Structure 1
Amino acid sequence: MCAGEDRVTFKVFDERAKEYDSWFDKHDIIYENELTLIKQFPCESPCLEIGVGTGRFAAPLRIEVGVDPSLQELSIAASRGIEVVRGVAEHLPFRDGSFLTSYMVVTICFVTDPIESLNEATRVLKKGGRLVICVVPRDSEWGEFYEERKRKGESIFYRDAIFYTKKQLKDMLGGSGFKIERAASVLHFHPWEKAYVEEPSEGENGSFVCYEARKS
């Protein structure tokens, strides 16, 4: 997660990197569903993941470079073959037009300044480059579930997360110079149901949504 260093979130992920990484093993079906969806938006090199975390998505997606403020998470990501760089989403340590594809997987929920983060994502993309941004929208069943857990203090990782509605995210993308070309989603089952393997569907009906947005 690419939280700004002034956010408590960054310290939580740094101090609990192994615990965070183990979430993907404990919730393997949800993870596989999300990964299957993101694979529908393949990397066109050179690729960057903003908020690479422990590399759970970057490694199987063959994303070459990952940026994150957490040294502990970057260490795990590096062990998975990712070229890691320490930094935050609001001040990406890359030159203009460095990448053809960038990914932000739930990262937008943890940054200090989402607008500046998207502006930076625009800056480091080549003209015509793509941003694949995946979120759990606030106005989805799982978004409401996580908001409730956040209110009850049941998840230390989501304690400082800010969930955005689909409209809010699309407005921010448009304001940062992106044109959304596609949306697809997974997690169509209820949070209280036993997770099952599912195929992604086009559109925004699921609770984990990926948007493909092109830099104009």
Structure 2
Amino acid sequence: MGARHTSRVVASLLGLAVLAGIGYALRWRSNPTPCPYSQRVWIDLPRPGITRTRVRTLLEPRPGERILELGPGTGYYTGAIAQSVEPNGTVHAVDVQQAMVDHLRTRMRKRGRRTVQPIRGDGRRLPYPDDSFDAAYLVLVLGEIPEQGRALAELERVLEPGGRLVVGESLPDPHFVGFGTLRRRAERHGLEFEDRVGTRGSYYARFAVAPSPPT
């Protein structure tokens, strides 16, 4: 009886933990917020479906280019992209949390990535003039922004005509944005779909700003 009772208690506790986890994920999804700095350990874990190599391949960063990274966190992707634009390019890494910005600045300095410029900013109000960047990317970030359409419109604004945008999404991120939803929202704000790699639940999608009409 003792063993059976213990098993039932353990099973009940596990069931409650699962329900609590689901409830937390649903609340987080309905209230978009970035991963807090105190939980940064999770954003440095390996990401098999949305790797550094894949984002670099699809983004095609080139030496001398100006690249925008929105929501870099602690810099999981930043160093790889920064290396691709050296020696004269720059990666402007914009994060809404000052603690992430400070962490990224220290991390990039230790790695000798002088092309990275971390800055605090909001994806809905980017602190740059029109046509500032050759390309931009964000991974597991769009769903954390309360006004996704506004963020996409801002990205289109700061990209030069013909500029490239890569968006990465993957389950089980509670803020996961499906490809169909992403494409509709992006195209609504002047971004043209170009390519996609990955699976339905873990993918990168590439868009471009329409080029300027010939004069």
Structure 2 length-normalised TM: 0.69
What is the distance in 1 between the residues matched to 2:163 and 2:183? 17
Pairwise CA distance, 1:165: 2.2
1:35 and 2:55 are equivalent in the alignment:
no
Q: List alignment gaps of at least 5 residues for structure 1.
A: 1-6, 137-142, 147-157, 186-204
Q: Give yes or no for contact 2:43–2:73 (8 Å, CA) kept in 1.
A: no
Distance 1:33 1:75 in 2: 25
- Which of 152, 171, 180 lines up with 1:167 in the alignment? 180
Does 1:211 pair with 2:196? no
Q: Is the 8 Å Cα contact of residues 134 and 163 (structure 2) preserved in structure 1?
A: yes
Q: Residue in 1 aligned with 2:196?
A: 183
Q: Secondary structure at the match of 1:127?
A: strand
Partner of 1:60: 80
**Counterparts of 1:1-12 in structure 2 under 5 Å?**
9-10=33-34
Considering fraction of residues, name the structure with more helix. Answer: 2
Deviations 1:75-116 (A, max 9, x none): 121121421111110000011000000001111110010000
CA-to-aligned-CA distance 1:112-168 (integer Å, 9 cap, x gap):
1000000000000001101011112xxxxxx3x44xxxxxxxxxxx4xx3x322211
Opposite residue 78 of structure 2, the aligned amino acid is A
- Structure possessing the higher radius of gyration over alpha carbons: 2
Contact 1:178 1:215 in 2 (8 A): yes
Task: Assess if the C-alpha contact under 8 Å between 2:101 and 2:118 holds in 1.
Answer: yes
Classify the secondary structure of the residue corresponding to 2:57. coil
Cα offset for 1:8? 7.2
Identity of aligned pairs, percent?
Answer: 21
Unaligned residue ranges in structure 2 (runs of 5+): 1-30, 83-89, 211-215
Once the 2 structures are TM-superposed, how far is the Cα of residue 35 of structure 1 from its aligned partner?
1.5
Query: Runs of 4 or more off by more than 6 Å in structure 1?
Result: none
SS at 1:64 equivalent:
strand
How many residue pairs align between the two structures?
A: 163
For 1:155, the equivalent position in structure 2 comes to none
Q: Deviations over 1:23-80 (max 9, x none)?
A: 355x33x358521211212224110101111111011121611001111111121121
Residue 131 (1) aligns with residue 165 (2): yes
Q: CA deviation at 1:13?
A: 1.5
Map of 2:102 onto structure 1: 75
Per-residue CA deviation, residues 6-32 of structure 1 (Å, 9 max, x unaligned), is x7724x523x1xx41x3355x33x358
Q: Normalization by structure 1: what TM-score?
A: 0.69
- Letter of the structure 1 residue corresponding to residue 76 of structure 2: R
User: Which gives a bigger RCO, structure 1 or 2 (Cα 8 Å, sep 6+)?
Assistant: 1
Q: C-alpha displacement at 1:206, in angstroms?
A: 4.9
Aligned to 2:152: 118
Q: CA RMSD in A?
A: 2.1
SS of the residue corresponding to residue 161 of structure 2 reads: strand
Q: How far apart, CA to CA, are the structure 2 residues paired with 1:128 and 1:32?
A: 27
